[in-house]
Chain A
Amino acid sequence: MEQLTTIGLNHYLTISAILLGFGLFAVMTRKNAIVVLMGVELILNAANINFLAFSKYNGGMEGVMFALFVIVIAAAEAAIALAIVINIFKIFKSVDVSKIDSMKE
C-alpha cells in the first residue's frame, strides 16, 4: 500500500512501459500509415517519460535536455513522414502499408 500511495520512479516507468507496448502494437498491426506514425509518437513519448523520470530522481539536467531534443526531432520526423505518406498516397492512391510493395510507380 505504501508502494501504491507514494508516487515514485516505478509509477512513471510503468506508464512508460505501457505506452511503449501500445506504440509497438500499433506499429506492428496497423495497415494505415498514419496510425503507424501515431504509434511511433507514442513510443517517443514513452522514451521521454523515462528520460524525465530518471532526470527528476537523479537531480541532473541531462535527461531534461535530451527530452527537449527528442521533442524537436519528433517534430521534424512527423513533418517528413507526413510528406512521404502524402507522396505515397498520390502515387498509389492508398496509404495501406501492406499493399505498397513496389519501388517504382
Chain B
Amino acid sequence: MSNPTYTVIFYLFAALTVFSAAFVVFTRNVIYSAFSLLFTFFGVAALYVFLSVDFIAVTQVVVYVGGILVLLLFGVMFTNGIMQTGQKSEVFHIIPGTVLLFGTIGALLYTFYTSHGWMPSETTLQGSIVERIGFETMSRYVLPFEMVSILLLAALIGAAFLARFEKSGK
C-alpha cells in the first residue's frame, strides 16, 4: 500500500482534482469553468479507481463527463450566445463566501485530523467489485433500483416538457 509509485500517482490525481476544482470556482469565464470541471470529474474518477470501485469510476466518466457536462455546456452555449463575449460570471457576497469556504474546509479538516477514531476494517474492498454490485442490485437494493429508474424516466420526461419550444399560437 505504501509503495512510492502508488503514492505519487495518488497525489498527482488529487492535485489535478483539487486545482481544477479551484479553477472552476475562481475563474470568471463560464466556458473555462465548464472545461475545468471536465478535469475535476476525471480526477475524481481516478480517485474512485484508487478506492477500488472501478464500476463507479466508469459510471462517473460516462454519466458525468458524457452526460452532465455536455448538458452544462449546452446550457452555457444556449444562455450566453457563442459569439457573445460577455460570458463573465459576476461575483457577489464575496466576504461571506470566503468565510464559508475557509470555515468549512478548516472545521472539517480539524475534525478529521484531531479525531483518531478511524479504525479500518480487516476486510477492505479489494479487486473488482462489478460482480458484487450486480448481486447487491438484484437482491438487497432491487426496490431502490426500480424506484430510481422510474424517477429518472419521470425526470427526463419533465425536462423535455419544461424545455420544449412554445407553440406560436399560445
Contacts and interface: CB of A to CB of B under 8 A. Distances in A.
Contact of A53 (B6, B7, B24, B51): B51
A69 B148 contact: yes
B33 A38 contact: yes
Given A7-B6, A42-B21, A52-B56, A29 B91 contact: yes
A19 B75 CA distance: 23
B137 to A, nearest CB: 7
Contacts of B108: 13, 17, 20-21
Interface string A79-104: 11011111101100001101000000
A6 B33 CA distance: 32
A69 B76 contact: no
Contacts of A87: 162-163
Nearest to A32: B89
Nearest to A86: B163
Nearest to A16: B108
A11 B75 contact: no
Contacts of B51: 12, 52-53, 55-56
A48 B64 CA distance: 13
Contact of A26 (B25, B47, B161): B25
A78 B98 CA distance: 26
B121 A19 contact: no
Nearest to B41: A45
Minimum-distance CB pairs A-B, first 5: A76-B155, A29-B97, A83-B162, A32-B89, A17-B108
